[in-house]
Amino acid sequence: LSPLAENIASKGYVVASIDHTDSTYDALVALSFASTLVNRPLDQLFVLSAMAGLAKNATSFLFGLVDADRSAVVGYSMGGYGALITAGAGVSQKAVDSVAAPVVVPHQQLAVHLDGSAAHAAVFDKRIKTIVAIAPWGHNRGIFDAQTLKGIKVPTLLFAGSVDDVSGYDNIRATWQGATSVDRTLLTFENANHNAAAPMPPPLEAQVVDPKTGATMANHYIDAVWDNVRMNNVSQHYVTAWLGKYLKSDDGMDAYFDPVAWKGFPPRTAKGLKIERLSAGR
């Protein structure tokens, strides 16, 4: 997400990009997926608190720069899962009890995020004012359901590809529809797969053939239909507007989500995109 991080940083936001332990390509170890399920939301909140602390430390490069009370979480795929949990969505009892890989988590540690539990209620941080979930994973594996998604407490922007076969487009739509406690918007990239909106063009390292598998990691970045730069430009456009509304309280940003006007797009250039909005209570 480097292009997005750099773009919003250039607009005055303080951005932290986290290398999550057990979730990086060079740290895939046994039970790393289980670790991601448990720790991703906790990592996000730890980093937020660390940034808030550094903002009060006169010797820190962040001194006086961070307003932690107006924060957002932006996440792609498993990062989208983490953002949903951070926003208040709990996981289902089915997920806590599951013995089906890759969902299985030892000793029911996932119960810290169980919907309705005191442990999960304690995770929510009022400093988080909104989230952006890009191709969020979870609903497709029973992690979330209509009941647990009602726990989302902050306005939510979701991006999805209409042929996502990892998180499942229908499941992403169900996630959007299920967050009935908040205002939420879904932006769909028609005919894009799981990489919609998020990844940068493949770095050189991703194009090296692994001698063990005979494959590269490039497919973690590219889409068969959409150009990476185009997708990044679109996501930057909408994330900027969304954060402007919910972190800067600028209601003028609403116009950018009008599904008819397509503000910011020259005529005939919004093809392949679809915006849908739902209000709290719907």
Q: What is the mean pLDDT of residues 117-130?
A: 96
Beta strand ranges found along 39-162 (DSSP E): 71-76, 128-134, 156-161
**pTM of the model as a whole:** 0.95
Whole-number pLDDT of residue 186: 98
Residue 25 in this model has a pLDDT that exceeds 80? no
Q: Give the integer Cα–Cα distance in Å for 173 and 164.
A: 11
Residue 244 in this model has a pLDDT that exceeds 90? yes
Contact 141, 96 (CB under 8 A): no
**Where does the pLDDT of residue 98 fall: very low under 50, low under 70, confident under 90, or very high at 90 and above?**
confident
